[in-house]
Structure 1
């Protein structure tokens, strides 16, 4: 299994950061069929071939994910897309 671990600082309040994560999670659900929910300050998600969490704090957002066998081959592309979205929403 390939693992993804990305942390980005943000300048938002915690409620604003959580709202962005909810928006991103909804889009992930539409696009990739993932399902999830909040567990404390982390949005845990899973879907076919992927499981992970998006944790938010007062100062940063932390994305972790484990990719199944099929998605592991696309780790670089998936990681690039995550970084792009983090930059879009939290830069």
Structure 2
């Protein structure tokens, strides 16, 4: 099992941060067929072998992914792509 944790700083208004988080989740959902749902300021996503959340804090987005085997074999590539997407969408 592989864990991915990414923290991205931002200076977005709450609505903008939520829209940015949704973009990240949409990309993950597309690539991994994840089901996504909001619980307050936390976006949760899951499917067999993958689960995680993207939490919005005032000036910070925290992504946590748990990857089961065999998806964990691609953890470093997944982490790099998600980190880059987060850097792109969480800018003013």
When normalised by structure 1's length, the TM-score is: 0.91
Question: Are residues 1:34 and 2:49 paired?
Answer: no
Q: Any stretches of 5+ residues in structure 1 without a counterpart?
A: none
1:6-85 correspondence to structure 2 within 5 Å: 6-85=6-85
CA contact (8 A) 1:10 1:61 kept: yes
Equivalent-residue separation in structure 1 for 2:75 and 2:28 (angstroms): 16
| Number of residue-to-residue matches in the alignment | 91
Q: Any stretches of 5+ residues in structure 2 without a counterpart?
A: none
Q: Partner residue of 1:3?
A: 3
* Aligned residues: CA RMSD: 1.2
Per-residue CA deviations over 1:13-56 (Å, capped at 9, x if unaligned) read 11110011123322322332100211121100002321000011
Equivalent-residue separation in structure 2 for 1:31 and 1:78 (angstroms): 10
Instruction: Return the offset for 1:81.
Output: 0.5
Equivalent-residue separation in structure 2 for 1:41 and 1:60 (angstroms): 12
